[in-house]
Chains A and B, each alone.
Chain A
Amino acid sequence: HLQLQESGPGLVRPSETLSLTCTVSGGSISSSPYYWGWIRQPPGKGLEWIGSIYSSENTYDNPSLKSRVTLSIDKSKNQFSLKLNSVTAADTAVYYCARHGARGYSYVDYWGQGTLVTVSS
């Protein structure tokens, strides 16, 4: 049974970089043809897709985040990571890591439990 678990600081200062890691267990992150992504949810609001990675050469992110996103994957550790730079209070949210399929199958079938990240000085 596949499990995803987010880890990282729960508090980030404004203008700094938010860094989160997702550890995958119960299956291999190298499994094809899956993408590994990040989705966030501000308190009391809806879901926003941040970006997804298939390999180091194959990443996609949400244009609304204005190129602040860096995605990476470490297949040896079965982990993938998110960096979001120049954060503001608007980036305060529960961050979920997730698995989805390739084009035409890109619904999320596995989610992490989510981790709250607060941006505050």
Chain B
Amino acid sequence: ETIMTQSPATLSVSAGERATLSCRASQSVSRNLAWYQQKPGQAPRLLIYGASTRATGIPARFSGSASGTEFTLTISSLQPEDFAVYYCQQYNNWPPVTFGQGTKVEIK
């Protein structure tokens, strides 16, 4: 099973600031990595797939990058609606598909 490790667990950021979230895979997942945003009481929403491709309707302030088994989600200027929990997911080595444990982005 491919273990996905996200850091930090919680990120405190002010609105308008940049947020950088990390996700590390325990083995190669190529670029088969997705990011999701989840708000309380809602299903997750796809933000990024293929490590760096924005899903339909996702604002340009969200970007993804990859370097080996390290992946990064950057939110360039946090908006009030961006405070949420973010999950990474690998879909290269399945079954099973695996998710990171999540990073909560909270208001500083």
Binding site for B on A (CB under 8 A): 37, 46-49, 51-52, 60-64, 96, 100, 103-109, 111-114
| Contact between chains at B89 and A107 (CB < 8 Å) | yes
> Chain A contacts of B1 at CB under 8 A?
63-64
Q: Contacting B95 at CB < 8 Å: which of A62, A96, A111? A: A62
Q: In chain B, what residue has the closest Cβ to A108? A: B46
- B71 touches A (CB below 8 Å): no
Sample (19) of A-B pairs whose CB atoms are under 8 Å apart = A37-B97, A46-B99, A47-B36, A47-B89, A48-B99, A52-B97, A60-B94, A60-B95, A61-B95, A63-B95, A63-B96, A100-B97, A104-B32, A104-B92, A105-B91, A107-B49, A107-B91, A108-B89, A109-B55
> Chain A contacts of B42 at CB under 8 A?
113
| Contact between chains at B43 and A111 (CB < 8 Å) | yes
Binding site for A on B (CB under 8 A): 1, 32, 34, 36, 42-46, 49, 55, 87, 89, 91-92, 94-102
| Contact between chains at B87 and A47 (CB < 8 Å) | yes
| Contact between chains at A64 and B43 (CB < 8 Å) | no
A49-B97, A61-B95 known, 14 other contacts, Cβ within 8 Å: A46-B99, A46-B102, A47-B102, A49-B99, A51-B95, A60-B95, A62-B95, A63-B1, A63-B95, A64-B1, A64-B96, A100-B97, A107-B34, A108-B36
Complex Cα distance, B91 from A70, in Å, reads 21
Complex Cα distance, B49 from A100, in Å, reads 12
Shortest beta-carbon distance from A105 to chain B in Å: 8
